[in-house]
Structure 1
């Protein structure tokens, strides 16, 4: 049944402890996020089944605002789905999922989930969004650097304030598919707090990136102003000879400027029938994984 964290002060502790038993490390992850204002209990709507005061099954619903096909779209992510191992086979998964299906259909334009086990949801109206693509910039010969990129320290009050100033009013990463809104900020912080959050004072822009085997992987670009991809590339201090965008590239590249290659995301995205992506190449930006 649907529950409410605000009406039961002990509920979050019970839920996160249960989820941590199914997905080890989740509790530490959630509590660290709360330290940075990314509150699981504020973002997620819990559906639970209890037995003798103990949670035996949980499904979370995370409302999200996305840009989809150029329009604002209200969706919901179904996440942290789990049943106590000793209570499996009792119909709890089906009971909660049916309740969640009714809830999201009544309250959102669509829903989706991310999983490594899509077969678990074969009885529900979700299809896998495969293939996903990465986008390789055709340009080569990257050399000179004008790098002023530094890395934010979320424990520094000025850096933390800067992050929270930029995120709410940033431009969409893509007009084809991207995230915005309060809960998207929560996901951004949760998924980036253990990594490096690059920031350019000159551009007023946050860049999430990695350089692996001489390849620059761009994961997210956060700015309140239009930026050229060439300017973003110039601030990266590492050496590389290849650039890959891991999000829909429409705001930064024309189709003749990149090559689409198959991506290998850790989880597959499954979407409800109402989630209709109309473009040629889909990519879920993994900093918003849930």
Structure 2
């Protein structure tokens, strides 16, 4: 299309960032401004956008990170925030931006991947992506008598708590060496601010931050943020109650001696992968939810 300009990595341009947020609000109901103002929109999140005048009308964003696969570090790009203003759809703008992203990054990274909603499942195979099943991991659990727990609830709206979380996350170990991520603290902070604001706890006895929800008989664990490996039995004993019967992990657990069950994740969203060379994406894994763009 003529009359459009390409901009990328413009987070500090107030006018364009506002327009980006306006489009994200229109398409996804999301606004990135608080994330930006609190300092967590870092150089690893890079929007590629078409702009008409001063209005962002199409975007594909890049997240630069590392994957941990069976203990090995792999360079990766996660694509997200793919959006086009309704007035400009059907003109090939997303395809054009995707081609630019692929041209810039695909030769330098081991994996490029994204999570797509069901409306666009035919779009990404055109660029060499293929769908991969994710898996849901769960554990039947019988509460055990524990010692004194010392849990402090953190507030995703409190800047001191957010800085504490960020500092721990900046030096964290991966949530799983079987399949985890690194350099994703920016995405994590997005989740802490917008998604799990009231579900973050610091376990002082374990020196770990746990993001979880407890609902009747089930506890859902979304992340365990620690600078050392945790003893999962100790964590579970602190966050469960007498009625807990099931633990659901929203990542790929690899705790020794733990008999976890896995099944194909029943979700409308689909993980798409493009691997470079001889790199192979692992089977039967769950991408950590708090580093999913």
Whole-Å separation in 2 of the counterparts to 1:167 and 1:175: 16
Do the aligned partners of 2:16 and 2:54 also contact (CA within 8 Å) in 1?
A: no
Alignment match, 2:25: 20
Whole-Å separation in 2 of the counterparts to 1:17 and 1:160: 25
Alignment match, 1:119: 122
Per the TM alignment, residue 172 of structure 1 is displaced from its structure 2 partner at its CA by 1.4
Whole-Å separation in 2 of the counterparts to 1:148 and 1:216: 18
Alignment match, 1:85: 86
Whole-Å separation in 2 of the counterparts to 1:53 and 1:159: 36
Gaps of 5+ in 1: none
Please give the root-mean-square deviation of Cα atoms over the aligned residues, in Å: 2.3
Whole-Å separation in 1 of the counterparts to 2:262 and 2:74: 25
Alignment match, 1:173: 175
The total of aligned residue pairs comes to: 279
Whole-Å separation in 1 of the counterparts to 2:56 and 2:185: 28
Whole-Å separation in 2 of the counterparts to 1:158 and 1:95: 41
Alignment match, 1:56: 57
Per the TM alignment, residue 266 of structure 1 is displaced from its structure 2 partner at its CA by 5.3
Per the TM alignment, residue 170 of structure 1 is displaced from its structure 2 partner at its CA by 1.3
Do the aligned partners of 1:149 and 1:237 also contact (CA within 8 Å) in 2?
A: no
C-alpha distance 195-154 of structure 1, shift in aligned 2 (>3 A): closer
Alignment match, 2:189: 189
Whole-Å separation in 2 of the counterparts to 1:13 and 1:200: 38
Alignment match, 2:75: 74
Q: How does 1:1-290 map to 2 (within 5 A)?
A: 1-5=6-10, 8-24=13-29, 26-27=30-31, 30-39=32-41, 42-117=43-118, 118-130=121-133, 132-138=134-140, 140-146=141-147, 147-156=149-158, 158-181=160-183, 184-193=184-193, 194-238=197-241, 239-250=243-254, 252-254=255-257, 257-265=259-267, 267-274=269-276, 276-278=280-282, 280-290=283-293
Whole-Å separation in 2 of the counterparts to 1:271 and 1:185: 22
Do the aligned partners of 2:15 and 2:54 also contact (CA within 8 Å) in 1?
A: no
Measured against aligned partners, the alpha-carbon deviations of 1:101-137 in whole angstroms (never above 9, x if no partner) come to 111214422211111132232312111121x222232
TM-score between the two structures when normalised by the length of structure 2: 0.85
Range moving further from structure 2, 149-158 or 66-75: 149-158
Per the TM alignment, residue 214 of structure 1 is displaced from its structure 2 partner at its CA by 0.2
Structure richer in helix, relative to its length: 1
C-alpha distance 4-261 of structure 1, shift in aligned 2 (>3 A): closer
